[in-house]
Amino acid sequence: MSVQGDTLADWIAPDRTALLVIDMQVDFASPEGAAGRWGLDLSTVPAALAAAQRLASAARDAQVPVVFAGLFTTPETDSPAWRERIRRRGGDPLAGVAICRAGEAGAAFVGPLPRPGDLVIRKTRYSAFWSTDLDARLKALGVDTLVLAGLTTECCVDGTARDAFNLDYQVFVAADACAAYEPDLHAGALKMLDLNTALLIDTASVVDAWSRQPSD
């Protein structure tokens, strides 16, 4: 979808919008993390991290809240359904869920990093809204619009976007600030998001829109 800059500046105005960065963590984004150890193709991830960094910088300049959602797991929070699904697919149900362990290197954020005062949501499932206080925290900030960036497009970005839409947020996905490990998954996920729950935009358009806001 093509969005004109002047219109976008109104739609994602700082007084109504938050930037939500999803699961940009070592285990999903770095060669030394779980995805790298599993041999997944991380070649598209650095560009998404760089784009998300640009979004975070522009958001801070425009006084748009920057919210970080990350997966932080423990053995107690591991989903029995997740473990059983992995087992039925022939995988190791223990190794398959031991990602982004709270307090370990794999859970650390990469790309844009939280600063003091930023809202950090610690989640245990795909969606940043599932069993968290994200909705209440956003509403307390007066936010009704979200710009999403993160990993991976077809999984946690998609899951979060759907829940956000069901909670009546206006949802924008910065397509170049998201990535998947397979190009067709990224493209397919964006197509479904565009069809059902979100408007697709790019980082340059967001940065331009936020730069149009008058400074104090």
CA distances from 37 to 12, 41, 75 (A): 38, 10, 20
DSSP characters over 85-107: HHHHTTS-TTTTT--SBTTSGGG
pLDDT tens profile 186-208: 999 999 999 999 999 999 999 99
pLDDT at 93: 66
Q: Confirm or reject CATH 3.40.50.2000 for domain 5-211, answering yes or no.
A: no
Phi, psi of 139 (to 5 degrees): -65, -35
User: If you ran DSSP here, which 8-state letter would residue 215 be given?
Assistant: P
pLDDT tens profile 66-105: 999 999 999 899 888 888 888 898 877 666 568 999 999 9
The CA-based angle 36-152-150, given to 5 degrees, is: 110
pLDDT tens profile 97-130: 689 999 999 999 999 999 999 999 999 999 999 9
Q: What percent of the chain has pLDDT over 90?
A: 83
Helix (H, G, I), strand (E, B) or coil at 22: strand
Question: Catalytic residue among 123, 163, 176, 178, which?
Answer: 123
Question: Catalytic residue among 23, 27, 163, 176, which?
Answer: 23
CB 214 within 8 A of CB 155: no
Alpha helices (runs of H) in 78-182, residue ranges in sequence order: 80-88, 134-140, 158-166
DSSP characters over 176-212: EEEE-SSHHHHHHHHHHHHHHT-EEE-HHHHHHHHHT
Sole residue written with tokens 């956003």:
138
pLDDT at 23: 98
pLDDT at 63 over 80: yes
Question: Catalytic residue among 27, 100, 155, 156, which?
Answer: 156
Sign of CA dihedral 193, 56, 169, 28: positive
Q: How much is the pTM?
A: 0.94
The β-bridge relationship of strands 119-123 and 66-71 is: parallel
Instruction: Please say if 100 is a catalytic residue.
Output: no
Instruction: Please say if 156 is a catalytic residue.
Output: yes
